[in-house]
Amino acid sequence: MMDHIPNDSDCSDDSSASDNSIDRPTNFKCDGTRPEGKRSRPDAILMNPGPPALYRLNTERKSVSGTDGKVRKWTYGNRDENKQNKVILMVGETGTGKTTIINTMINYLLEVKFEDEEFYRITEEDEKYHDQSQSQTSAVTVYEAFAEENSTSLTIIDTPGFGDTEGYKKDKEISQFLTRLFSDKEDGIPYIDAVCFVMKASQNRLSNRQHYIFHSVLSLFGRDIENNIVFLLTHSDGGPPTDALNAINTAEIPCRKDEDNEPVHFLFNNRQKEKRVKRYERVLRSAWEMGEESMNEFLTLLEEENRKSVEMTLDVLQERRRLEACVSNLKDRIDEKESKTKELTEIQEVLEQNKDKIKTCENFEFTVTKSYKEKVPIVNEWPWNSYATCCSDCEENCHEWDCSWAIDPSWCWVMKKGHCTVCSGKCHHSKHVKENKKYVLKTKVVTMTFDELEKEYEHSGDQNEANFDKKIYETFKKENESTMRESDNKTGIEEKLKIDLEKIKEEKSKLVHEAYTSIVSLSKIALKADSAFTLLHLDFLIPRLKEEGKDEWMKKLEDLKKKGEEKKNKGALNQLLDYWNSFTGKK
């Protein structure tokens, strides 16, 4: 049952008006005045009698599948496929007034006027809070509004405040669930009309956290979204937002530009819900009308053919997931290779020290630090990191972070055309398992005899392909025949050890190449190729490219790193590193 909407001006010359209608226009004229007409009463619950009377719209609510309620869809009204639907992604730092702008958009759609002394909200912030800066939520909420009065409907994607006290772990979750929202077959959103950054009009510079917020969002999208990015400036007094525009230009944020080559922006004040006092009526009316004018301009802008499919955005998100998985897997495998190198070097030293005993066929004992892998339960992790996709054949963690959403290995981001893009063997997805376990590299000190070592290497060509490759051995032998003839004192074991070390070096080289290729691929399609999320991996990769002698590749990544040290990027990178170190427990 709908509550009656009190309105002192609710009078009509039409005595036949029913209780289900109010004297309101069907549409507004360009000058803001009303033609004669009526509009249907919104289906809403009275929360505060005001003035203005505050109402919460009754919405149909559901969760997008596979998100554990972290992506919610709230719908007001009945969908009409014949109406234009505009999809808007809202992003802003906690406390900028994003929630009030969302509700302002809904009131515009419902064609509510200042004289009505009403304000409707579709959001559900806690009533005890006076502003969004005190209200925290970790869910992405999609608000759909279909108003009978308007020929346009709105779909507003509200992201939680990026960069708040929960930091990196929360922002990773937002990115993950936006991806899920864009790709879901039933409730997914296939296109975007506008990406709206919300910030205060008085903002004269961007803090590290705000730089980080821009990077967080820009790193999600492809290059084709740049002309859809606009700014909604809150707490405006109606004057030129010089400070905010200077801050945006200084930060070099990619966005739509107007005829004066300034970032396209719209002004809003956040006083729509303030108690109506007669002495302040003029100021409050002005704030309301500024929002109406801005909404009119904003929706007019969206009427242009500027809609973008999220297909490239999904490509960016998927490539970024692969990059992160590749680098994570690369680090594990390099650790493994370096541990194996240490083991083989220890054995070489033992053989060198016991040459005389080997010549006389005398057996002897020695100790060596051996590395091995063990699959262990994943504990003390956030839900989205509590499951990993691992290759049983390669015994590797193919996707350790952000892998919780995949139903089975075939759905994992690292799979392409049915095969893994990360593990050593590029194995079929059927060779993988997704469970609450992952491989961990461990070491142990082992005591063994020379006879045991000799037997291990005698059969390595047949039984232990991981340690010895016959084809590589034959190639090595052919290339080094003269050296081998001169090394009468060297044993076959020593030669095989040397081959193993060469093989490890070759494998490391391939791993570094894979990571480099992923970064280059990402930089070609991402709107923000030099985002902090890409720069985070460079310190790990550049030294290894130097070891490989890949000067040209190294220079390319060094140039990318230099961009991160520029003023426009440094704040975001510093903030991300702070979050990352806190997230991983590093100092």
- Over the stretch 307-366, which tens digit does the pLDDT of each residue have? 888 877 777 777 777 777 887 887 788 788 888 888 888 888 888 888 888 778 888 899
Between 218 and 426, name the one with better pLDDT. Answer: 426
> pLDDT at position 59, please?
93
123 CB-contact burial (10 Å; exposed 0-12 / middle 13-18 / buried 19+): buried
What would you measure as the largest C-alpha separation in the chain, in angstroms?
119
Q: How far apart are CA 255 and CA 216, in angstroms?
A: 15
> pLDDT at position 548, please?
84
pLDDT-above-90 percentage for the chain: 27
Least Cα distance to 235 among 359, 104, 339 occurs for 104
> pLDDT at position 233, please?
95
DSSP string, 105-143: HHHHHTT--GGG-EEEE-S---TT-SSGGG-----EEEE
Mean pLDDT check: name the lowest of 136-150, 229-243, 276-290: 136-150
**Residue 303 pLDDT exceeds 70:** yes
Least Cα distance to 234 among 284, 291, 164, 195 occurs for 291
Q: Phi and psi of 368, rounded to 5°? A: -145, 145
pLDDT tens sequence across 137-166: 567 899 999 988 788 899 999 987 654 445
Return mean pLDDT, the chain.
76
CB 320 within 8 A of CB 522: yes
Residue 302 pLDDT class (50, 70, 90 cuts): confident
Instruction: Compute the C-alpha angle 566/571/577, nearest 5°.
Output: 110
Q: How far apart are CA 269 and CA 200, in angstroms?
A: 10
Alpha-carbon 281 to chain mean position: 43
**Residue 471 pLDDT exceeds 80:** no
Instruction: Compute the C-alpha angle 387/388/393, nearest 5°.
Output: 145
> pLDDT at position 63, please?
84
The amino acid present at 294, given as its one-letter code, is S
Q: pTM of the full predicted structure?
A: 0.67
Q: How far apart are CA 435 and CA 416, in angstroms?
A: 20
Residue 29 pLDDT class (50, 70, 90 cuts): very low
Q: Where are the beta strands (DSSP E) in 228-356?
A: 229-234, 265-267, 308-309
Bridge partner list, 140: 71
For residue 104, the SS3 value is helix
Measured between alpha carbons, how far is residue 9 from residues 106, 107, 120, 444, 473 in Å?
Answer: 22, 18, 18, 84, 94
DSSP string, 508-521: HHHHHHHHHHHHHH
Residue 291 pLDDT class (50, 70, 90 cuts): very high
